[in-house]
Amino acid sequence: MPAENSVGIVRTKYFTFARDEPMLLDSGESLGPITLAYESYGELNEGRSNAILILHALSGDAHAAGYHSLEDRKPGWWDDTIGPGKAFDTDRYFVVCSNVVGGCAGSTGPSSIDPRTGKPYALNFPVVTIHDMVNAQRRLMDRLGIPRWLAVAGGSMGGMQALQWAVSYPELVRSAIVLASTAISSPQTIAFNEVGRQAIYADPNWNHGDYYGGAPPKAGLAVARMIGHITYLSDRSMRQKFGRRLQTRERYGYDFNTDFAVESYLRYKGNRFTERFDANSYLYITKALDYFDLSNGHRGLAEAFRGVKARFLVASFTSDWLYPPAESRKLVSALTANGLDVTYCDIESSWGHDAFLLEVETMTSLIGDFLRRMERIVGGGNAAS
C-alpha cells in the first residue's frame, strides 16, 4: 500500500496536438500529430498560480510520483520529493510531469506509428532538441489552462529543459530549479553519449533502427546503459557500495564470468533498462543532449539569458563528474551578469551525478524553502513580471 505521504494511485493521461498543423522543429522538419503522456498531482488553486512543471532526465518519463496500481512494487522516479509534505508538496502545489517528445513511454517518438506509412517511425522520426521538447510542453501548458508556472524544475536533462523554458518563455516562468545540470553539453558528455550509441549500432538486431516487430537490440542498449550509469555514480560511491567485493565466489575465478559485485550491478541495471526503454529513443534523446548549447547564436552564455525574468535555484554536487560544479558556477555567473536573482548551493555528496535523486533530506529542505519563498513573492505581488 502507498505510504501516507504518497500521492497514491495515479494514472497517466495523454494530450494530442498538431493534428492539422504540424509543429516546426529546430531541424527544419515538422512533426504531427504529437501525443504527450503526462501525469499530475495535487490541485490547481483558484488563481492558477501554484503550478509546477517537473522535467525528467534521459531515462525518466511522466510517472514521477505515486503508483499505477496497488500491485506496483516501485513508485514514480522522483517519488521521494513529490507528495504531501515533501519538497514538491502536493498539499500546496499542482505538479505536472510529461514524457518528452522522442521518448518511449507514451509520448510520440521513433517507436510511434508514422501516420504516413502505418509503421513505426524508426529512423524516419525527425531529430528533436531540448528546445523542441519544451515547445511541446508549452502546448500542454495551454491545454491545462496554466497561465504561468510557479516553477519549472529538473535534474540533469531536466535542468536543461528548465533553463530552456526560462529562455524561451520568460513571461511564463516565475522560477527555475536546476539541479546537477549545465547550460552547454561538454565534449566529454558528447563522447560518452556517442560510445553508447555505437554500442546500439553494433548490436546485430539493431538493423538500422528497423527492428520493430522483431528482436530489439537489447545487448547494445544494455551496454549503452551500463556506460551511462557509470557516469551517474562516483568513484567514492562505487568504493562504498561495492569495493572489490566478489559477487558469488570466495576467490577470483580467473575467467570471464562475473567476479565482482560492481560487474553484476552494472549488468543488472543494463538488462533491466532494456525492459522499459526503446533503443531508438536512446539515440534520439542523447542526440538532443549533445546539441544542447544555450550560448549558440549568442556572443556568450550571459547574452543568452538577456530578457530572462525567472528567479533561480541552482544546485551542484561535489562528486558529480558528469556535470561538475564548475558547470553550475559558469551558469550562475551568466545569470548574475544579467542581474537575476540566483540561489546557488554546491552540496557535499558522495553519490555523484545521481545525488539530486538520492540526497532526499537536503533536496526537501532546499527546494521546499525556495518554493515557499516564491509563494511569498507571488502572494505579495513582487514576482518578476
**Catalytically active residues, by annotation:** 156, 320, 353
Instruction: Give the residue carrying C-alpha cell 500542454.
Output: 140
At 14 the three-state DSSP class reads: strand
Which positions ≥6 away from 363 have C-beta within 8 Å?
80, 81, 87, 179, 315, 356
51-55 and 34-41 strand pairing: unpaired
Cα–Cα distances in angstroms (integers) from residue 183 to residues 285, 290, 294, in the given order: 16, 11, 6
The upper half-sphere exposure of residue 160, i.e. CA atoms within 13 Å in the direction of its Cβ, equals 28
User: Nearest 5°: phi and psi at 281?
Assistant: -60, -40
- Of residues 104, 98, 109, 175, the one with CA closest to residue 144: 98
- Of residues 208, 187, 167, 194, the one with CA closest to residue 298: 167
Which positions ≥6 away from 204 have C-beta within 8 Å?
217
Quote the CA–CA distance of 219 and 180 in Å, as a whole number.
29
